[in-house]
Structure formats: structure tokens, C-alpha cells
Structure 1
Amino acid sequence: MPALPHSATLAWWLTAWLRGHEQTDHVLDELSGGTHLLRGGSALDLLVRARGTGATYAGLALPVDGDPLGLGGPPAFNAAALDAGQAVVVGDLGLVPEEQGETVQWRTFEATRRQLPDVGEADRGLREELLGAAADLADLDVARWRPEAADALMNLHHRPAVDAPLGTPARCVDLAARGLQAWAIVDLALADDGGAVSAYEVERRRALLRPLGRAARRAIVAACSPEVWPPA
């Protein structure tokens, strides 16, 4: 089962710190565990830079070609985030991860306002796509060419454990876990093109699974973006 993207982890823990739910030492321990550093600086520099924006939360972006989910611009930030497949938005600050050896270096950019699906919308969309995916993958005989994906669909109640900081709504933790679960199903079903024997089959499988992948990303972004969280 995939882990949360670096940007999702950072968004959650920055939010918890900016809102006073988590102490600095605990957040630094959490970030140091993943060796998150401001490019050219330290994990503490990363916190200080986020605090300097005046924002009270950090949100997630998970863009792909044709779907800049979580991005509002400007072009330089969008391009870097798209290349990385993820980013964090803290007020007018954009953060894009770059893995260097055992560390995650965060590059800084100017960021602008963005539009996101709210938690309820993302939740409903994910549930609908999971139901549709079960039928679609049955039609594609997924159990024959990717038994792991079939097993994952049969075990939707066994969700991955997600380590969330204090102050994160339980509904959002659950949504993030279900989004990761759906993401894993897509990855498993598309691995090695699922044993497809023709270009037509490859494209058919990708087309059927693309909506589930998008719903999974929307779920994780909403779960890790406090501006669309339900009222406490």
C-alpha cells in the first residue's frame, strides 16, 4: 500500500503546527524522520518560512497532465509542481519537493489562490468511482491478470494506517486512507499494463481506471487541505 506523498505529510504537520495543535519539537521530530529540509536550510527553516506567510494552514496539490489539481499558479510554480506530481501551498508560498539522496529538499515559489473540491464532494466522488471500478475491473477479468488488485477491491474495509497529527479531523484521516487505497488499486491494475496483449486493451484499461485515479487524488487533496475541511 502506498504511503502518503511527501507533500501530504508536510501539509498536515505544518497545519497542526501553525494552528498550535502540535509542539515545535514534535513536528521537527516528525519531519526529521523523513529528513524534510528547506532547500539550502533545515527543517526549522521550513517551519519559519511557513510561519512568515501569516497563513494558518498548509494545503496539498497533486497535479497531473491535464488536471492541475490543487494549483492556482503562477506558471513557474505550476510547472515545478506538475513535474514533481505534488506540492504544498501555504498562503502565498508554494513548496515543491525534490528528493536528494535520503533527504527531501523543498524548493520555494510564489503561489496564488486555488480552487478545490470540498471534503464531502471528494468523498462522494471516491465512493461512486470505487463502485464503478469494481464492475469495470470484473469486466476486464482483473482477478486473472492482477489478483492483488482484485484482493484490494474485496478488502475495502481494511484501510491503510495513516499517521495524522493532532487537530486533523477524523473524517479527513479516513478519507485520506481510502484515497490511498484507491490509488493502490489503480497502480496494481495498471502495473505492467495489467498483462494486456494489445494496445487496445492497454488503452481500455487506462481509460476505465483513470476516473478512479482522479477520484483518489481529489480525496487525498481534500483530506490534506484545511481550507475545504468541514467546520470543527
Structure 2
Amino acid sequence: MTSPLPASARLAWWGTAWLAGHVVTDLLLDEVVGDDVTHAVAGLAGLGLGGSEDVSETLLGGLARLRAEGVASFGAAFPVEGDPVGLGGPPDLNHAAIEAGEAVVVLLHDGSAVGLVPERVGPTTTWVAHRGARRQLPDVGEADRGLRSALLQSADALAALDVARWRPEVADRLTDLRHRDPLAAPPGVPERCVSLAARALHALEVVDLALEDDGGALSLHEITRREQAILPLGSAARRALVAACSPEVWPPA
């Protein structure tokens, strides 16, 4: 079954479990690659990590090279234009990650960081390495409270817009939070973070449904009101997903 988690979330969770010795390499690769044919890593040599030739290598080869350099953690980012949540720069990484909508920030024990941005072509994904920087992250508790608050506010705002009439499936999903599908997570991911990630993905699904094009049936004023009602939920959901997929801010075991 295909995981509902974005690729960067899968690499953050399963890469962290692999570093801690909770899962074997084969399971790491299976979970990260998912239904794709293959994943590769490119650009590490250009950052001074490993050999002199800057060529693409297997996912396992790239992760092994990073581990040899002293990886402290794998964490995810889910930025959009104007809201680079989960990123700390520099601009090259931010631009690539915003273009992709996601990235993994790899922190090394020496204090440096590497950003891995997935570039997908058909059934293959190449994680392109960029120089990274440490980032400021939302606390798990803060992100959780922010998501709960945004859900309530968006539900009220959409009700005022009569969401059940123009998007009955959005109204259904908003009231179906208790019946979301559970996420499969590796050992070591706090249960609170697994739950938070599931609710964040659910909220992002609601946002996508609410913003679907109606084929020109709405006026500009109506579109603006809908965006004002739902976009804050998308922002809160992405912050929640970043916190749930960033071991730097996980609560102590």
C-alpha cells in the first residue's frame, strides 16, 4: 500500500529510525522508495562530501556517505512561496525546496547541514543535495495547538460560506477527523508525532478540496473569501507536519 506521507516525511522518519538502529537498511529503502522504481542522490561531492566526481549515486550510497560524515538527524520541510517553514536557508536551497514543495534537512554533528530536495521524473526520484543551514522549528506542542485552532476557525469560516452546498465533500472531511486512516511509522517516532502528522495530512487534503477549481463558477470575490477561510489551515498543517517529521523538536521518549 502506498504511504500517504510525502517522500521527505518518509525519509525523515525512516532515516531517523535507521540512524538509531531501529530498522534495517532494506526496510529503510523499501519505505522511502515506496511505489517508485528507484531513488538516487546527486550533488554530495559538490559540497565536499565524499569523492571528487559529482555524479548520481544510489539512495543507499548517498545515505551511507552522509552517515559517514556524522549525521545527527534527518528532518523534513514543507515550504511554499512566502512561508519557507522548516528551512533555514541559504537561498539556493530555499528556492529549490519551495519549487518542489518539500525537502529533507540533514544536520551533521559538526553543526553544518545539507538539504536534499526531491526531483521527480516519472517513477524515479533524485534527491539533489544543496548546502543547508540550521533552522528554527515550531515546537510539537505549539504546532499541535495551532493546527487545532486553525481547524476550528476554518470550519467556522467555511460554514459561513455554506461549504456544504458548494463542496459537500469538504464539509464531510472536516467532520471526519476522528475516522482518518492511521499512519505506519517506524520505531522511535513519538506517538504524538504520528497522530499530529495524520491530522496535518488530513487538513491538507481538506485545503486541496476546498481550493479546487469550479470551472469559473465562482466570482473573484467568492474565490478570495474561500482562500481567506482555508489558507490559514494549510499553513498550520504544514507547520504541524514539519514538527512531526523533525526529530530536533520531538518530545523526550
Q: TM-score, normalised by structure 1?
A: 0.95
Aligned ranges for residues 176-215 of structure 1 at < 5 Å?
A: 176-192=197-213, 197-215=218-236
1:167 aligned onto 2:183: no
Q: Is the 8 A contact 2:73 2:247 kept in 1?
A: yes
Q: Deviations over 1:164-200 (max 9, x none)?
A: 1111111100000000010011111111159752101
1: distance between equivalents of 2:190 and 2:212? 33
Deviations 1:36-86 (A, max 9, x none): 321311121132133134123200111111111011111111111111111
Q: What corresponds to 1:5 in structure 2?
A: 6
Structure 1: gaps of 5 or more residues: none
2: CA distance, partners of 1:193 / 1:183? 19
**Residues 7 and 32 (structure 1 numbering): CA distance in 2 closer, same or farther, change over 3 Å?**
closer
Distance in 2 between residues matched to 1:117 and 1:224, nearest whole Å: 11
What is the aligned partner in structure 1 of residue 81 from structure 2? Answer: 65
Task: Report the counterpart of residue 90 of structure 1 in structure 2.
Answer: 106
Quick check: 86-95 or 50-59, which moved more? 50-59
Shift, 1:31, TM fit: 2.7
Residue in 2 that maps onto 1:14: 15
- Conservation of the 8 A alpha-carbon contact between 1:119 and 1:230: yes
User: Where does residue 49 of structure 1 map in the other structure?
Assistant: 65
Q: Retained in 2: the 8 A contact 1:223–1:229? A: yes
Instruction: Output one character per residue of 1:133-171: Cα deviation in whole Å (capped at 9) or x when no partner.
Output: 111111111111111111001111011332211111111
Aligned amino acid, residue 158 of structure 2: L
Preserved CA contact (<8 Å) 2:7 2:32: no
- Residue of structure 2 aligned with 1:38, choices 26, 30, 41: 41
Higher helix share: 1
Alpha-carbon spacing, 1:4–1:29, altered in 2? closer, same or farther (3 Å): closer
Gaps of 5+ in 2: 43-55, 108-112
Q: 3-state SS of the aligned residue for 1:82?
A: helix
Three-state SS of the structure 1 residue aligned to 2:238 is: helix
Structure 1 145/80 Cα, relative in aligned 2: closer, same or farther at 3 Å? Answer: same
CA distance in 1, matches of 2:91, 2:141: 29
Output one character per residue of 1:94-136: Cα deviation in whole Å (capped at 9) or x when no partner.
1000001201110001110100101000000000111111111
Distance 1:37 1:153, change over 3 A: same
User: Given residue 208 of structure 2, which amino acid in structure 1 is its aligned partner?
Assistant: D
Kindly tell me the number of residue pairs found equivalent between the two proteins.
231
Structure exhibiting the larger radius of gyration computed from Cα positions: 2
Amino acid aligned to 2:161:
L
